[in-house]
């Protein structure tokens, strides 16, 4: 009996089905060894030797595998084909106390779980690739050193419970810097002037935009005020419109490359609304069930067999006219695409439906369409531009653009999503001839403002990280999950915003540990890890080069950094009842609280209480209505007093015995007004996730009414961003 070890039971079940009776397949349930949880586990004085331990959850599994391995003719380590998979196989060998020289222990790799791929893997079994193991080990050691050495500094200088990471801190910096670009952005007013026109005997309108006046180009920001726009409008009264020039040219649109990890995450976010973590979880299930190839890859290559199968499908399904003479080739973006041998693709192109789970099926459908479309012919368009003269007292030139599809090509099956849709609508133009008179319908003058850069979505954040060389296919999803879970960023309307603590930590790291959050430094470190995987560098010198300067810098900064440089205490009008000093608002482990400014000599503190409002009421989420002065109810769990506190998302009621009792109630302030939009809900005070107050309908999300101003005070309604 031959024994095969994989990571998951689902993968084991699929592989056992293909390998037959002579093979038994067991799952390791992921990693079986790792660094200890409660200490750093790395000897920095002895070549950064890691102290690996068998994980408590894996001890029973290791014992079962060891027992099965004792009676096996051959033992095949069939973990994933990337660095982490190689490292899991290496850890398994050590946990099972096996030797490299043992002829019955072999490593097999495959990028798809199919009968032919598995048979090929067994035929060409090899030993452990120690270059890949060392690259993964270097990443693990570097991340442990940064996390375990830098996090305690954050606990002392900012607040307890924080963490820093080599890649996660850089991702947070991207979000923080984008937010500050948005805050500092000053909108600039400009006006767009256009004319709706048609042929003389036709009612089908097309729109042309002003681009020239009296031989001088009119650029986007040239018309800066309503007065300027109205002057141009007056100059166009009774103008005659005619075609000045017509230009036609062909345009080719090429299909997108097959999916790699990053592009799959981006497209699943755009088209399906999936998070990076959700996408990778679903892709993992599809891979383990044998439906797609390995999902952690930065290679756009397709195997010869896959291309042959795709071309046959295109010819049968769509016809020869959609089949290019030569298979399109795509260039892999990364310098060293060694994480897998192929792009992410279906293993059997004849299967369009593979799962009863709707989310799995949607993701599979996306992969299926993208892969086949990548091998189809280009789409062809005819682009037509018409320069239109408007002659009155002055001479004006307008430009109209139209696009007509000549051949749909790959678009018949699939088109790539866009991160940020624009308002530009490009339709078709009628056949126009030079000198032809046109019918004027309407002049449009529209006020616009320049817009700040948009906040990152998951798709655009992954795209930005990839473009900077930060992280690798296996790290994007866990990095994004980590920065959300740690409270450094929040997703609001599917876009990232930094939290207050995220900005504080970023400012500290940028000022005092610039190398840790430097984009180029982080990218170079990824290149070093790639070099280790390729056998060009050794892992210990790479870690040594990073750690020794970092260790010295850390010791200096631990003494040098003053918490007050980053945490600004807000002085209140209250005084301490015990010593008479002013009360300040401080940042603690569980958020903001009120404390004596004489801390630590005076230990007085209390929860952050909201200011009393005489005209408003508090609505308790169970439906009970009370005035603020009546908020002295008892906790339903322990009988303690419920007090008002201030959290990340605004005010709430909490038991005074926190953290022993964690009873809470949500509250909101109401104006007593009906919602002006739906006339059913009430207008209540709400807060953005960053704590900014606005007024919205109590029936949200059914009613999306929102205003920065209290409508009860008859202020102008403006919707918050």
Residues with a catalytic annotation lie at 294
383 neighbors 251 (Cβ within 8 angstroms): yes
525 neighbors 146 (Cβ within 8 angstroms): no
Per the omega criterion (within 30 degrees of 0), is the bond before 659 cis? yes
Which residues, in sequence order, are bridge partners of residue 107? Answer: 77, 126
617's tokens:
């009421």
For residues 700-710, one letter each, b for 16 or more C-beta atoms within 10 angstroms of the residue's C-beta and e for the rest, the string is eeebebbbeeb
591's tokens:
């958020």
How many C-beta atoms lie closer than 10 Å to residue 433's C-beta? 9
Give the rounded distance of the alpha carbon of 553 from its chain centre: 32
Biggest CA pair distance of the chain:
98
- Which three-class secondary structure string do you get for 251-311? EEECCCCCECHHHHHHHHHHHHCCCHHHHHHHHHHHHHCCCECCCCCCCCCCCHHHHHHHH
12 neighbors 28 (Cβ within 8 angstroms): no
In a 3-state reduction of DSSP, which class is residue 506?
A: helix
Q: Where are the beta strands (DSSP E) in 450-603?
A: 489-492, 495-498, 570-575, 582-588, 591-596
**Burial tier of 53 (Cβ tally within 10 Å: 0-12, 13-18, 19+):** middle
The backbone torsions φ and ψ at residue 654, rounded to the nearest 5 degrees and listed phi first, read -140, 155
665's tokens:
């109630």
25 neighbors 15 (Cβ within 8 angstroms): yes
For residues 209-234, one letter each, b for 16 or more C-beta atoms within 10 angstroms of the residue's C-beta and e for the rest, the string is ebebbeeeebeeeebeeeeebeebee
In DSSP notation, 650-716 reads EEEEEETTTTT---EEEEEEEEEEEPTTTSSSEEEEEE-TT--EEEEETTTTTS--EESS-GGGTPP
428's tokens:
């078709």
Per the omega criterion (within 30 degrees of 0), is the bond before 701 cis? yes
Q: Residue 73 to residues 57, 76, 88, 103, 343: CA-CA distances in angstroms?
A: 27, 10, 21, 10, 34
619's tokens:
């609505």
| Distance in angstroms (rounded) separating the CA atoms of residues 118 and 234 | 76
549's tokens:
């300067």
In DSSP notation, 206-243 reads EEEEEEEETTEE--TTT--SHHHHHHHHHHTTT-EEEE
| Distance in angstroms (rounded) separating the CA atoms of residues 297 and 341 | 8
Q: Which helix (H) or strand (E) holds 68?
A: helix 59-70
């Amino acid at each position: 009996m031959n024994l095969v070890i994989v990571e998951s039971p689902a993968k084991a079940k699929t592989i056992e089905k293909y390998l037959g009776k002579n093979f038994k397949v067991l799952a390791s349930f992921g990693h079986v060894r790792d660094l200890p949880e409660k200490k750093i586990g790395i000897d920095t004085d002895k070549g950064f030797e890691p102290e690996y331990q068998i994980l408590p959850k894996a001890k029973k599994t290791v014992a079962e595998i060891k027992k099965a391995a004792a009676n096996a003719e051959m033992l095949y380590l069939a973990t994933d084909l990337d660095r982490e998979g190689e490292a899991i196989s290496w850890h398994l060998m050590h946990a099972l106390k096996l030797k490299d020289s043992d002829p019955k222990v072999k490593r097999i790799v495959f990028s798809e779980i199919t009968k032919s791929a598995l048979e090929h893997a067994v035929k060409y079994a090899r030993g452990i690739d120690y270059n890949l193991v060392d690259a993964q080990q270097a990443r693990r050691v570097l991340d442990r050193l940064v996390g375990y050495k830098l996090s305690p500094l954050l606990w002392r200088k900012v607040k307890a419970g924080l963490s820093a990471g080599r890649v996660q801190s850089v991702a947070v910096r991207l979000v923080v810097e984008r937010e500050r670009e948005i805050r500092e952005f000053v909108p600039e007013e400009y006006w767009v002037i256009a004319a709706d026109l048609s042929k003389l005997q036709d009612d089908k309108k097309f729109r042309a935009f002003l681009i020239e006046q009296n031989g001088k180009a009119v650029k986007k920001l040239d018309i800066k005020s309503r007065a300027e726009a109205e002057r141009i409008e007056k100059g166009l009264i009774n103008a005659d419109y005619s075609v000045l020039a017509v230009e036609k040219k062909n345009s080719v649109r090429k299909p997108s490359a097959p999916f790699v990890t990053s592009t799959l995450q981006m497209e699943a976010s755009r088209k399906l609304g999936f998070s990076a973590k959700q996408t990778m979880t679903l892709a993992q299930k599809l891979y383990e069930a044998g439906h797609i190839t390995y999902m952690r890859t930065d290679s756009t290559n397709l195997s010869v067999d896959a291309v042959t199968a795709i071309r046959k499908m295109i010819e049968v399904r769509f016809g020869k006219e959609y089949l290019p003479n030569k298979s399109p080739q795509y260039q892999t973006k990364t310098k060293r695409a060694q994480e897998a041998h192929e792009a992410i693709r279906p293993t059997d192109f004849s299967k369009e439906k593979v799962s009863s789970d709707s989310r799995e099926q949607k993701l599979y459908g996306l992969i299926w369409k993208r892969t086949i479309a990548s091998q189809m012919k280009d789409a062809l368009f005819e682009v037509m531009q018409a320069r239109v003269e408007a002659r009155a007292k002055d001479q004006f030139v307008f430009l109209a653009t139209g696009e007509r599809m000549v051949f749909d090509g790959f678009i018949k099956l699939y088109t790539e999503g866009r991160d940020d849709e624009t308002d530009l609508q490009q339709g078709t133009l009628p056949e126009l001839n030079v000198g032809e008179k046109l019918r004027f319908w309407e002049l449009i003058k529209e006020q616009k403002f320049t817009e700040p850069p948009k906040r990152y979505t998951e798709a655009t954040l992954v795209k930005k990280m990839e473009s900077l060389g930060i992280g690798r296919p296996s790290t994007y999803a866990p990095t994004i999950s980590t920065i959300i879970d740690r409270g450094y960023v929040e997703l609001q309307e599917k876009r990232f915003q930094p939290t207050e603590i995220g900005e504080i930590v970023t400012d500290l790291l940028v000022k005092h540990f610039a190398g840790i959050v430097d984009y180029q430094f982080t990218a170079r470190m990824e290149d070093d890890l790639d070099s280790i995987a390729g056998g060009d560098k050794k892992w210990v010198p790479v870690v040594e080069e990073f750690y020794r300067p970092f260790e010295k810098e850390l010791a200096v900064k631990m003494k040098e950094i003053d918490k007050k440089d980053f945490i600004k205490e807000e002085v209140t009008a209250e005084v301490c009842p015990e010593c008479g000093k002013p009360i300040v608002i401080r940042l603690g482990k569980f958020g903001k609280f009120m404390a004596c400014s004489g801390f630590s000599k005076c230990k007085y503190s209390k929860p952050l209480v909201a200011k009393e409002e005489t005209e408003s009421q508090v609505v308790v989420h169970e439906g009970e209505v009370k005035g603020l002065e009546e908020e002295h109810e008892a906790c339903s769990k322990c009988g303690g007093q419920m007090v008002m506190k201030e959290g990340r998302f605004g005010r709430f009621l909490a038991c005074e015995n926190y953290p022993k009792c964690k009873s809470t109630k949500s509250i909101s302030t109401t104006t007593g007004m009906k919602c002006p939009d739906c006339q059913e809900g009430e207008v209540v005070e709400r807060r953005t996730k960053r704590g900014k107050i606005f007024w919205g309908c109590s029936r949200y999300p059914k009613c999306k009414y929102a205003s920065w101003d209290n409508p009860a005070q008859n202020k102008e309604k403006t919707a918050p961003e």
